[in-house]
Amino acid sequence: MFWAFFLCVLTAVAIQVPLKARSLIEFHKEITQIDSEVGNEYDVVHYLADYLSAQGLTVELQLVEEGRENVYAYLGEQRNTKVLLTSHIDTNPAGKIPYHLEGDEIHVRGACDAKGSVASQVYAFLELWDEQIIREGDLALLFVVGEEYNGVGSLTAVNGLNASWSNAVIVGEPTDNKLSVGHKGNFRFDVNAVGVSCHSGYPEQGFSAVEHLLERIGHLLQQEFPYSSLLGPTSVNIGTFHGGLAANLLAPSAKAEIYIRVAEDIGLVNQTVSRIFSTPHSTYSIVQMLEPQYLDHDVPGFELVACSYATDIPYFKGKSAKRYLYGPGSILVAHSAEEYILPTDLYEAVRGYKSIVKYNI
């Protein structure tokens, strides 16, 4: 079959790996201590593949890019399942945090975003299997690369894995163990400006790319975008800005990375960005454009929350009857120097994932 050329299938017979982590907390510690900043996910991918294979799951590695693979795992030979548990194994490039405890808090990069979800999903799967609640064809696990940049892992899985999940896809991200009713879309783009360098004492002889790009960004920040009663306001973040060569000459070039969290009407956002940045001196390129998402939240017993961040869940639209967003930890610490999670959050997430799965099988 077509997909066979792109997948490496591992089985418990083919590879024997000793069970390192004897508990949920130890497993979480193992995977968070493996550096997997976006683009550098190889080691954690293969740790997870070996770990899941050792538990008796069938494991496939799907090539995304050179040195980058997704992990897909299920029971027996049935690749198509009723429900999918999925999260991302890359971490945000916000700087490393050595694993350490502060009281009950587990501090480490990826603690909640999103290796807390990964660990909880794995243990939810294993407990459901041990309790004989799931069998072959009921549940699969998918752990992807690249969510923190452009979603390439989930996009590759949806388009090339050749698997289906009829009833539900459950995406793991930090929601404080609440079911998300929806989240903002994102419009992420790069912009480049070109100037004419000259002596800064004679600015009329040149054209400053830095000044031009700052002016264009100023126009963007003055825009009033539509407000969503469910998701709140659209927000704009100028993530990076680089330009110029020295203070005594006009800048020949400048560039910026900009991220707009879209609450409503992504088409209007696209038109506005085009109007502002399509000039004789500047161009822009879209990195990612995903609409706001409205999600299923029908499982009894959960608090509900609307989220201001974006996830890989848009890629799964139309791939299953329902889509859920749920996971342990707070997004408010996810990209910070103080990222942490509580052990109680992880245990509660296992119970939560099990409840959502049981509701949908």
**3-state SS assignment for residue 162:** coil
User: How confident is the model at residue 8, as a pLDDT?
Assistant: 60
Q: Which of 41, 69, 147, 339 is catalytic?
A: 147
Q: Is position 147 annotated as part of the catalytic site?
A: yes
Neighbours of 260 (CB within 10 A): 24
User: How confident is the model at residue 58, as a pLDDT?
Assistant: 99
One-letter amino acid for residue 205 of the chain:
Q
Average pLDDT over residues 319-337: 97
User: How confident is the model at residue 1, as a pLDDT?
Assistant: 35
Taking Cα atoms as reference points, which of 152, 118, 116 lies closest to residue 39? 152
Q: What is the pTM of this model?
A: 0.86
User: For 87-126, how does the pLDDT look when each residue is reduced to its tens digit (9 = 90+)?
Assistant: 999 999 999 999 999 999 999 999 999 999 999 999 999 9
Average pLDDT over residues 251-259: 99
Name the band, by pLDDT with cuts 50, 70 and 90, for residue 19. very low
| Whole-number percent of the chain with pLDDT over 90 | 94
User: For 165-191, how does the pLDDT look when each residue is reduced to its tens digit (9 = 90+)?
Assistant: 999 999 999 999 999 999 999 999 999
User: For 46-85, how does the pLDDT look when each residue is reduced to its tens digit (9 = 90+)?
Assistant: 999 999 999 999 999 999 999 999 999 999 999 999 999 9
Beta strands in the chain (DSSP E): 7-10, 58-65, 68-74, 81-88, 100-102, 105-107, 139-144, 165-172, 179-183, 185-194, 235-243, 253-262, 282-290, 293-294, 304-307, 322-326, 340-341
Residues 6 or more apart from 158 whose CB is under 8 A from it? 315, 316, 319
Going along the chain from its start, the domains and CATH numbers come out as 2-182+292-360 (3.40.630.10), 185-290 (3.30.70.360)
